Amino acid sequence: MLIIRHAEVADLLRGQEQHVLSLVGETYRLHDEGRTALPHSVFLRFPDRPRDRIIGLPAYVGGTDAAAGMKWIASFPGNVADGRARASAAMLLNSMADGTPEALIEASLISAQRTAASAALAAARLVTDPAPRGLALIGTGPINHEVLRFTKAQLPSLREAVVFDLDPARAAAFADRAGELAPDVTVTVADRAEQALGAHPLVSLATSAGEPHLDLAACQPGATVLHVSLRDLTVEAVLGAQNVVDDADHVCRERTSLHLAELATGNRDFIDAPLGALLRGTAAFRRDPQRTAVFSPFGLGVLDLALARWVRDRARADGLGTRIEGFLP
């Protein structure tokens, strides 16, 4: 069994934004072609702790370098107040030769970067201006930290960012750190969520909201909203937008904003296209420059798996990680 620690994962992923974008895009294409297996995620909830949960994401990616495994990711929002990360994750990879577990990888950064890469890929296909100059970020945790990094890598024209968080100190700290991610992007802090929504036509929502709390009335015409946290938008906001998802069967679950929209309408007609089809050029979708477009990614385990496989292979090649002998019988 090969154990790969967080610091080793971070070293391997440092400076690899373009490769991660390419890998995530290719995995979306494979998924859209039906060359993956992706059961529904399993949610472990606690009766006396409704905000906390642990999610299991089993997945298989086919192709020339097939892989199978599972991400186990915990979300404990109360950690933030104690100065700890909200999410923690581990990834288990199985051998495709005999099924035995062969690698255990700390996966919080893998999870954040695959999420951000998917948002950046969607942004590049949904923005109405091919060279946008600004980005608004609502929520200043690790996910939007990576969204800024990967969106800048995908859309190098970005020069301005506005951030908002319910905790002004967190927003200010995020703005201070942003110079390390994107030195040529000027970052300012908004006083209200609506101010951030209207600041730029590209918006990323990455909060810990459990219930809808935002409409999109403050957005600029034709805005693109990366609805990464999935539960921010009202049903009316979803139904009024053009909607792109990663996978409709996955995103219309667990009381996401799109699930609530499906419950309200009795159908999924408000979903316009999956991102994989956009990337493959097979979607019958036309961007309306006067309407808001919303990208809502449930977060597919195949993306974690593809990136974890790459980390494992790089670690093996570089002699990184700790090999535990005698783990198997």
Q: Kind and range of the H or E element at 227?
A: strand 224-227
- pLDDT for position 51: 87
Q: Which comes out higher in pLDDT, residue 238 or 86?
A: 238
Residue 159 is which amino acid?
R
Could you read off the pLDDT of 139-198 as tens digits, one per residue?
999 999 999 999 999 999 999 999 999 999 999 999 999 888 889 999 999 999 999 999
Q: Quick one: average pLDDT of 52-60?
A: 96
Q: Does position 85 have pLDDT exceeding 90, yes or no?
A: no
- pLDDT for position 178: 86
- pLDDT for position 250: 96
Residue 187 pairs with which residues in a beta bridge? 161
CB 162 within 8 A of CB 190: yes
Q: Quick one: average pLDDT of 211-228?
A: 96
- pLDDT for position 62: 92
- pLDDT for position 314: 97
Please state, in angstroms and as integers, the Cα–Cα distance from residue 3 to each residue in 50, 222, 246, 314, following that order. Answer: 32, 46, 30, 13
Please state, in angstroms and as integers, the Cα–Cα distance from residue 156 to each residue in 1, 224, 289, following that order. Answer: 40, 17, 21
Name the CA radius of gyration of the chain, rounded.
19
What global pTM score does this model have?
0.94
Question: Quick one: what percent of the chain has pLDDT higher than 90?
Answer: 91
